[in-house]
Structures are given as C-alpha cells and as structure tokens.
Amino acid sequence: MARTSRGGVDGPPAPDFSPVGPGDLLLVAVSGGADSLALLRVAHGLAEGGSRRFRVGVIHVHHGMRGTAADRDEQFLRGLCESLGLRVVVARVDVPDRARRHRISAELAGREARYEAFLSAAIQLGARWIATAHTEDDQVETILFRLVRGSGLIGLAGIPYRRELQGDPSPVEVIRPLLGWRRSDTEAICIEAGWSPRHDSTNDDLQFSRNRIRQEVLPLLLQVHPAARQAILQLSEDALFAAASWREQAELVVLAARLSEGSGESRWCTEPLRALPPPATEWALRLLLERSGAPAAMISRETVRRLRLSLHSGGEPPLTLAGGLHVAHVEGGVLVVRALAGAAPDPPAEARVNVPGQTAYPAFGLSLRSEVLPVPHDLKTGPWLCHLPRRALQGALRLRGPETGERMRPFGSTGRRLISDILSEAHIPRDKRAAWPILSDEAGALWVVGLAVSERCRIQTGEGECLRLTAFPLSETLSG
C-alpha cells in the first residue's frame, strides 16, 4: 500500500476494511497497545460516522503472564469500551502453562491461544470478521524471522491481508487493515484521540526472537543500508508475485502433461515438467500428486524435491508416499503415479497395535512403530510423530478407519469435532477417507494419523512414561 501525504507530511494509506459489509459485525482484537488502540479508533470511527456502517465489538486476551499489569490492561480496556458503547469479550488463557505442556515457545503458545480465543469469541458473538492490528513493522519483522529460520516463497510473502479461521457454513476470517501503517502512525492516532496506550513489558524481553529482531537486528540492517525496510518489503512483494506466477505456470503444465488418469493409476509426460524452473516444477508435481489422489497433508517438501530430481536423472527407485500411493519415474519420459492398495493384501478391518513393536496397516500402506520411554525433555512433534502419555491410554490400541459419526476433540479445539470434518478440511480425497488410519483405544480416537491428536493426550508437567508412535510408508518397513 502506498503511503500518502498528510499536511505535507508522509502519512499512512487509508485503513482497508473493504471486505466488511454494512451490518456485518467486526470483532477488533485489542491488547491495549498503540497499534490495536489505533485500529479500534479508526474502526469505531468508520462504523459510527462513516459510510460503511458495520458493527464493532472487541476481543481482549489476558495471557496470564504479567500479573497485576495484565489485570490493569484489562480494566483499562473495559473502561474504554464502556465509554465508546462497545461490547468487549475478555478471554483468559495461561500461556506459560500451555508452553510447558506443549514443549513450545511462549511466543508460539501465545499466538495459538490468541487465535483460538478470537475464533471462540467470533462464534459466540456471531462475528464474520476479526481485525488484528498488524502493521508494516510487524510485516518486516515477520519476513526477517522467516528468512533466518528458513522459509519458502509463501513464507517470504509475509503476513497476508486475509486469513480464514473457519470455513462454510459459518465462515470467520481475519483481516489486517493497518498493514500499510507504521508504529509512528498508530502512536499519532492515539495522541489525537487522547488515549494513553498500555505498555507490555514482554515486548522488551530479548529472549523472544521477534523482540531481538526489532531491537537489535533491524537497527543494524538500517545502519548497513537506510532503505533496508523498503528492500525487505519489496522482497515480500516479489515473493508473493513469484509464487502466484509459478503456481499459474504449474497449473497449465499439469493440464498439458496429463496422459491418462483413472483405475488407480495416472500417467504424466515429463517433458513439460522438466521445462519449468525448479520451483514451478515442484508446484506442478505437488498439484499432479494431489490430482492423483495423494492427500495434500502427506506430500512432503522432501518427497517433491526427490521426485523433481528423478525427472532429470531417470532410473531412480520408486518413491512411496505414506498415503498409499506408489510414485515412479518410468523410462521413456512418463511419470506414473500408481495406487498401492490394489496390489496390497486384502486390508484388515483393523490392526491391533504392538506395544512396543511394529504394526502394519496395509489398508493405507502404513506401518506404525511404538516405543515406551520416559517423556523426553525436548519433545519433538510432527504429522507422523506422536507422543501419548501412558496414563491417558485405556485398554488395547488399534489402527482402524474412521467410524460413522465419530468425534474427537483435537489439541486446542474448544469442543469435539467430527473426524470426517477433520479429513475434509485437510483436503483428503473422498476415496481415501474410509481407510484413513485412526489410532484408538477403548475410549475412542486418540490420533487421526498425520492430522490431529486428541486433547486427552496432552503431555502434562511431571508426566512419567509416554508412548512414542512413528508412522512410516509400509514399503520402507518391508525393504528393511
């Protein structure tokens, strides 16, 4: 967004509330800092005196981290909302406890807790939109953080203006109306309004990566080059355009490369795939794997990279996806994606899990390894790796497909959800859902493998033993 001249002084672009229609309820996330107060000020002004005439509510999250200071922030905000005639919902969460239980950083725990609170409040109030006060400064910090952590093009594109939290039939989306603003702009709005922003002391703590980037890294970069901020934002814009361009190229090439589809096998001409730049080739491979029935959640970046390299080398051994698809590069310029299920033995209705030991689940080309061990200090997780506390397990463990109407409460969810909805939202093809591996005990589902773990399987502080479960493609197990 281009900055404007305001009385001869460089100023921010107009805040973007364009998706919010007349009569819609916009829930503004307000911490009490300058950015969120400025967002509340401009949203309230547009709702009350502007042409948009949407309604405004407020969500405030108390993170349980700063004692009485956080309590005073809440009291301040309640008073401000009362003076403006706005309804405020206050969500109280315990971020330090969440970070300990999940073995994640306080930054990540806080972010997860906030967005869960936002969605819960939106559902409670019937809000279609949630506005957060991310600014250009947040955008720069985010891009730098992702750059040093290691990110693809989509990550370097930065914070998106819109993000869906919940789809149909009751959609809820987050918008960021102030992405073109700087902190100096939000502070100026607060001065104009006569509001005194609250100060969050955790923003001064250099143990948090973003604070270190804000207070140490970015100032050094500005010393190296005064236009570093603009260069970083330009990189973000270029990454967004490049990702969109490569995806468009990939979609066209997938159509051109198709030779045949159906009967558990698809065949693709490799020549147009090889002609693309490597990033676009990987986009195309991901798309054709999905079209061939591979669940998007099961297509790893490493699998796509190896498959791209095999297009040029030829004669590589077949690559196998855990989702029950056999991927092979065939001599003669044809890539074949073939379902393994037809060549597998008749799938059992379920498989009893060996603890400890290895359990084959041929219905999905999957093998599960289980190990009993003390809860690791550094608890690693991933879609194919799961740790379950022994005390939470009831009876024998089984691998099976989903049951009709079966529900589970995933980590972080406010309630029980249909497993069929979890599979659908992960874009699992319909013909794969009936055999999708579900780990269960006598009390019900524990793990929708690769997608979600039950809330009752959280690792608590002071936990003793746990069961570590790792899923592998069955072919890896058979090849020794």
Q: What residues contact residue 191 under an 8 Å CB cut-off, 6+ apart?
A: none
For 347-398, the pLDDT digits (tens) are: 345 778 888 777 777 666 677 888 888 877 766 666 678 888 888 888 788 8
pLDDT over 90 (residue 302): no
Q: Is the peptide bond before 13 cis (omega within 30 degrees of 0)?
A: no
Q: Could you tell me which residue, 187 or 345, shows the higher pLDDT? A: 187
pLDDT over 60 (residue 6): no
Q: In order of start, what are the domains of the chain with their CATH numbers?
A: 4-224 (3.40.50.620), 236-342 (3.30.465), 350-478 (no CATH)
In 294-401, the DSSP E strands lie at 319-321, 325-330, 334-339, 350-352, 357-361, 366-374, 385-389, 398-400
Percent of the chain with pLDDT over 90: 26
Question: Is the model's pTM score more than 0.75?
Answer: no
What does the CA dihedral 234, 235, 237, 243 come to, rounded to 10 degrees? 160
The per-residue pLDDT for 348 is 42
For 200-223, the pLDDT digits (tens) are: 877 777 877 788 888 899 999 999
Q: Could you tell me which residue, 42 or 475, shows the higher pLDDT? A: 42
The per-residue pLDDT for 5 is 35
Burial of 76 (0-12, 13-18, 19+ CB in 10 A): middle
Average pLDDT score, the chain: 81
For 226-282, the pLDDT digits (tens) are: 999 999 999 999 988 888 888 888 889 999 888 887 667 888 898 999 898 888 888
The per-residue pLDDT for 229 is 92
pLDDT over 90 (residue 41): yes
